[in-house]
Chains A and B, each alone.
Chain A
Amino acid sequence: MIFKMAVNNVKKSFKDYTIYFLTLTFSVCIFYSFNSIHAQSAVLEVGNSSISYMQTLTNLISIASVFISVILTGLIVYANNFIIKRRTKELGIYMTLGMGKRKMSKIFIYETLIIGGLSLGVGLVLGIIASQVLSVMTANLFALNMTRFKFVLSIDAIIKTIVYFGIAFVIVMGLNQVIISKYKLIDMLNASKKNEDTKVKNPVISVSLFLVSVVLIGLSYNLVLDVGLSTREPLFLLSVVLGILGTGLCFYSLAGFLILMIQKTKKVYLKNLNIFTLRQVNNKINTNFMSISIICLMLFVTIVSLFTMFSYKANLDESIKGNTSFDASAVLYTSQTNEEGDSIEEALDQLDFSFNDSEEYLFFNEYALDLQVADIVSPYIDASNVHELENRADDRNIKVFTLTDYNAAMQLKDEQTVTLRDNELLVATNYGDKIESINRFMENEDAISINNQPYTIKNDDLIMDNIENQPHNTDFFYLVVPDDLSEELTLSGTRVNVDFGDDNREESEAKFAALFDCFNTIGGEFTQEVGFIQGFTREQATAILYGNSAVIIFLGLYVGIVVLISSAAVLGVQQLSEANTSLNRYTTLKKIGVTEKMINRTIFIQTLIAFMFPFVLAVIHSIIGIIVTSDAFATRNKNVIGSSSLMISIVIALIYGGYFYVTYVGYKNIVKNS
């Protein structure tokens, strides 16, 4: 009987529950899909090298999930409180009808269970769908092949989701009991009558405060644009503090400012329900300015970090190009041999390392010029690009390879060979799209002199392929010179590049990966014997290059989406509470002949403003933030920002827009059914 009543209640007030339901469902969906990452690796061709990154990611997500479940529980409690408040009158009526508190508690427990179970179910279904999308993304981020699409279902993640949200529901139920037991009948019956105190502020003070806030924000922008992203710089901290203060002050005074401004433009002020809308917004912002400011700042941090991560990733994709061309490659620098004059070939011999029949390999030499990149391009550096070369590997001597070796390497990866005349050379580098002076150099110079002998640059466009696998220093610059010249050059290292062939790829991969790992781990066992061989298989290089960024992006997305949902949900619940407390006003409006259309319009505008105000300021903050971070991370490819902003905009529009719509409809319903 009580259960039936609870079912009826949920049915009856389902519209009130929408936002609660939506928040729960979203939360469950996100929680499940990110926690099922581990299961997703099962359908991807994850090599050994990527597995460790996957493991790190899984662990980090588990840790983050603890924090996130705390946030989500808070959110659920918040949304639940709104529902209870909305229904205090109903509760009061139950009580006057003689229903005991115990019975009422039971009804609420059942209601929570019904809604919780429902949203858990729907959320899990959505989460399972979303995790399929996520696994495509995982493949993409880790640069893995998805040979066949397979349905991913993680029982572990399902259990975890149920446990975490089960706990959240228990907490909500417990709090409901506390709230119910504390309520007094008289409060319940009068609940809907209470009107929040309307705070009226002196308009002159509002305007001055608003101007101050604009100045503070402006100062903060100025400072941060000057000092950049240097978190230890006191000026940077000052800019953050000013920004936070400015934001808070801005929302504190915004409404008063707007009222004064709009009152001056009578055409807007005295039109339709604008007076009412303005006062509603004023009232709302004044009572909620703190939370609005916090939401604005959270949105700002989310947008900037999502952006930065995506552009970082896109940046990475750019710089990776040409750095994973061989199945395996390794180098033994002359400075790192155990015995002088040892070549990599001899070192491998000493280690009893042998090549299979299916493997093709090429031993070759690397020479160094007594010249650095900076020396070559320095005439083309001007005020606009003085910093270009900073932080680049420009302090090392330029690498040189002979034509024969270069062609052999080209053949190894089945590419066209080239010819050079005696006085010609080739320039290979990926600096071109980040260092403008290189391009100017290429345009203006025909030759580079080596040992006082000019060599004509044969290629018009820069060669963009590296001659080794290089996941760490992805910037490369080398020259290809005629064979004869090698006698005049200093040997800097010996190299081997390998093609695994078609047959035993997996075996070869495992063999080389094991070899390189022995050196890559600190104090690796072979180092003492033969010196330090640095090598990477293609898979290792890819895993290193993509692994870290993938981990960061996943975590960022996870946290970012949760923050977005939380912000939107809080805004939505606030707005619906506002609808509740303003009911009397709408009744009055209806009585004096305001049409339903006009009422819907003012609700739309109010909701839009509630969602847009914090968002717009967050976007403005973010523009500055993105300028600063892309400076810091040296975003070289400007298209990157375009493509990532599209992705982020879609995510934000879906979540934020969804909440906006649900809130608008919910608000309309509350007013309509009053």
Chain B
Amino acid sequence: MINLRGTWAIYKQEVSRAWRAVFGTIVSPVLTTSLYFIVFGSAIGGQMQAVGGVNYGAFIVPGLLMLTLLSESTSNASFGIYMPRFTGSIYELLSAPVGVTETLIGFVGAAATKSLILAAIILATATVFVDYTIAHPILAIGYIMLVAASFSLLGFILGIWAEGFEKLQMIPMLVLMPLTFLGGTFYSIDMLAEPWRSVALFNPIVYLVNGLRWTFYGSSDVNILVSVGSTFAFLALCVVVIAVIFKTGWRLRN
């Protein structure tokens, strides 16, 4: 029997921790995305032609949303599990009647919740700067949830792997950030010349950005099924890695 109260306690604790740091969790990403919209959407976007029939300002909305979603989901979850290790309060989690299921649902659920709230706020912010529509709203929400959960899982793994704050931020800074920028956040990869277009297809973020873009505008650079399929595969991979971590106690139990 899984410990439902325990799961809820972890979830609640993590969400309340986010509220305490409301500036970092909500205000700063909103500010950052607003700046992107002002610079790329309004200032530069005014000079850009429509991409695939979509106005440039609207075109970048899903990409920007993905940018925030990836970095916030990852960092929320990684901090969530790293902090108890750092402060020593992890002893309680390890000695409590909670296992991998409770811990994952609690931490990843909370991280994903924060990301979803953030996504909603960003979409609301976007309406201030650009006009956009969402062709498949239900699918968009579903896809946002899928990505938030997947990258919260990735963050969880990073938070267990990291042995210092530097390592904690290494992957998001050195891997996720560049890949997202190069992953068609601000452009369609069809705008690239060969061989760069083919190279871009090796960037997994391209599939994420395009998957979300498809739910917004009904068209994308890559097949939507490939996007969704690979996101699910990534989620499954993360779950397996975490299950192994818990089974072996790696970095958690001596």
A associates with B:
no
